[in-house]
Amino acid sequence: MSRKITIRVPASTSNIGPGFDVLGATLSLHLTLTATLSPTLQSVSITYTGNNPHTVPLTVLDNLITRTASYIAAVHNVSLPPMDLHIDNPIPLGRGLGSSGAAVVAGVILANQACQLGLSKDRMLDFCLVIEGHPDNITASLIGGFCASYLAASVEQEHRELHELEKSGKLIPKLNGVANGSVGLPVPPIENIGRYVRLPLSKAIRAVVIIPKFELSTKLARSVLPDVYPRADVVFNLQRLAVLTSALCAEVPSPDIVYTAMQDKIHQHYRQHLVPGLPQILALTPQDLPGLLGICVSGAGPTVLALATGNFEEIGAKVQGIWTSSVGADGKPIESEVLILDVLKDGASWESVDL
């Protein structure tokens, strides 16, 4: 019998100022994956529409979605069944809106559905976390809402080991080997490594995201961060993070409190040389732009997130204007796109229909 699986995974914005690797919010922009499984098919084929259609690999062990799904299948001693897979992805790649997190979530759900593994949402979260390595964007995309999260136990170690295996080329041969039935299985992550709470974000808040035309890989943006921080900077972030989580949940959020609580000293400053114009953008205040609550880098950047209760177009245009008068790495003004998005309560969803 043939089967059609449809999976929708939302984009995310994470960090939200002081909440580096902690805070994430689900955005109203979705990746849609459609898989048609049929006994008449011989292999997994992939087609892609959406952002950066020429750079996304379409081979199973290179594409992040199918590579993730292959790993999950291999852990369970099965391989992905033949299917026609179509990815429609409007989430811009390498911009700090969680495209890789959404792809990993989609891959885990795909394996769970296609191979009928019966994994719970929390177990799927374990797999997503061990692949992505940090919980903020993954939790927002899979679980949904305005989330605060952390990793329990030694997941960071497991994440490093998985990537060491991948770097050394051992993971993919293992997966190939599993498909041929000849080698041992990759090890599953330990159970229950994700911890999160969903916070009741004020209904008045919308997310204005200003997306520049250039990419910044999360890997690069993480590599410029120091290993050790001055105590005063850590305390600065902790104080603001605690206040921010509550201030953003007030029925009528205070721009004065949110704006100062969205300041950060542990990631944005270290990344600012990768995003021209950033200091000037982050200096915009609610006094300059009524309706603005706070402004920060979205995820690992380079997108800027403005949380606001009104005046959305003007806020977007102001940031766009600063980028137009800044010079990018190619010596040209930085072009950008503005999206005004909602923070959604729901994360990924899926359905499977017999044809």
Ligand X SMILES: N[C@@H](CCOP(=O)(O)O)C(=O)O
Ligand Y SMILES: Nc1ncnc2c1ncn2[C@@H]1O[C@H](COP(=O)(O)OP(=O)(O)O)[C@@H](O)[C@H]1O
Kindly list the residues in this chain that would bind ligand Y in the complex (CB under 6 A): 31, 56, 63-65, 87, 89, 93-101, 103, 217-218, 299-300
- Residue 56 binding result from ligand X, ligand Y, none, given CB thresholds of 5 to 8 Å by partner type: ligand Y
Contact 28, 344 (CB under 8 A): yes
Q: Which of residues 216-235 bind ligand X (CB under 6 A)?
A: 218, 221-222
Residue 79 or 137: which CB sits closer to ligand Y?
137
Contact 15, 267 (CB under 8 A): yes
By CB under 6 A, name the one of 8, 16, 17, 20 that touches ligand X. Answer: 20
For tokens 């979260």, what's the residue? 125
Question: Could you give the CA distance from residue 6 to residue 351 in angstroms, rounded to a whole number?
Answer: 5
Pairing of strands 83-89, 44-50: parallel
Which H or E element spans position 341?
A: strand 336-341
Burial class (CB in 10 A: 0-12, 13-18, 19+), 311: middle
Residue 15 or 70: which CB sits closer to ligand X?
15
Residue 217 or 325: which CB sits closer to ligand Y?
217
Q: Which amino acid is at 136?
A: D
Contact 318, 192 (CB under 8 A): no
The answer to the question of residue 30 lying near ligand X (CB under 6 A) is no
By CB under 6 A, name the one of 16, 175, 274, 300 that touches ligand X. Answer: 300
**DSSP-derived 3-state class of residue 132:** helix
Least distance (Å) between residue 15 CB and ligand X? 5
Least distance (Å) between residue 6 CB and ligand X? 24
- Residue 113 binding result from ligand X, ligand Y, none, given CB thresholds of 5 to 8 Å by partner type: none
Binding stretches for ligand X (CB under 6 A): 14-15, 20-21, 96-98, 100-101, 134, 136-137, 218, 221-222, 267, 299-300
